[in-house]
Amino acid sequence: DSGVTQTPKHLITATGQRVTLRCSPRSGDLSVYWYQQSLDQGLQFLIQYYNGEERAKGNILERFSAQQFPDLHSELNLSSLELGDSALYFCASSATRGGQANYGYTFGSGTRLTVV
């Protein structure tokens, strides 16, 4: 157990639907990062939050949005889902704003999203 909790572990939904993925960071970590990993692809950075505020944005689609709540958990909302959105979605957390110092990121086990 890495300390980063992601729910649900698996999600199957239809095209056009909307889903919410949840992440609870490791205790004490203020930064949360979201990544998308399609089959046999690398990790694509989506977005980062630090202590409730958006810190950095990657190639996140307009159909996707995220937020970090006062208790530091984060949610990634995916709407108007397409077949190509099927992927593993990982959440990571770190103690610092950047995550490189103090042993980097801690990743959760991911949510596998299947759009049918």
User: What amino acid is encoded at 4 in this protein?
Assistant: V
Q: Of the ranges 11-19, 67-75, 76-84, 90-98, which one interacts with another protein (CB under 8 A)?
A: 90-98
Q: With beta carbons less than 8 A apart as the criterion, state whether 38 and 87 touch.
A: yes
The CA distance from 73 to 93, in Å, is 10
Partners of 6 in the beta sheet? Answer: 23
Cβ neighbours of residue 101 closer than 8 Å, sequence gap 6 or more:
none
Q: Which of 43, 52, 61, 65 binds another protein (CB under 8 A)?
A: 43
Number of residues counted as binding another protein (CB under 8 A): 28
Of 43 and 61, the one with the shorter C-beta distance to another protein is: 43
Give the footprint of another protein on residues 56-85 (CB under 8 A).
Answer: 56, 58
Nearest of 2, 20, 7, 9 to residue 94 by alpha carbon? 2
Q: Minimal distance in Å, beta carbon 2 to another protein?
A: 7
Q: Minimal distance in Å, beta carbon 102 to another protein?
A: 9
Q: Which two tokens stand for residue 32?
A: 């949360």
Binding site for another protein (CB under 8 A): 2, 4, 33, 35, 42-43, 45, 48, 56, 58, 88, 90, 92, 96-101, 103-110, 112
